[in-house]
Amino acid sequence: MAHGSELEIERKFLVVGDSYKQEAYDSSRIRQGYICSSRGRTVRVRIRDSRGYLTIKGPSANGGLARYEFEKEITLSEAENLMKLCEPGMIDKTRYLVKSGKHIFEVDEFYGENEGLVMAEVELAYEDEPYEKPSFIGKEVTGDRRYYNSQLKEHPYTTWEK
């Protein structure tokens, strides 16, 4: 997770099977909403277990690989109050952390309107940095906007034509 102001380089993948649950060394429940989810500027409120965060993300560059991200921890009550200002559509998921080589894959299992979707992402130091793919990694979806959380709020996975 990027903190302060830095460029984030991430690759996103679909997940096959559920072996990630056994391989995970940590997991947390995440609820998040969007105060603003216009293209190029997203303002997100997140409650992770019992901690609150406010995140502002800039536009994606390089086909979805990198974007500016600003994040600050806020109190739980601030986060709960800001949730009330959010646009309709809440993202609710469990995030599992799985170590693979020198990287950590974040695997998100979605609930509610996005039930059935499981996605993994890995953060890289530079765009073509090599990484070890865990066995549960499926098709790469980096840069496919349908899989952005801000899009899943508008067009939930359960409504997609399979």
For residue 104, how many C-alpha atoms fall within 13 Å in the half-sphere facing its CB? 10
d(CA 105, CA 91): 19
Q: Which helix (H) or strand (E) holds 153?
A: helix 149-154
DSSP annotation string for 68-115: EEEEEEE-HHHHHHHHTTSPS--EEEEEEEEEETTEEEEEEEE-GGGT
Could you say which of 20, 25, 34, 96 is catalytic?
34
Closest CA to 106 of 28, 162, 3, 51: 28
Q: Is 157 a catalytic residue?
A: no
Q: How many helices (H) and strands (E) does the chain have?
A: 3, 9
Residues taking part in catalysis: 34
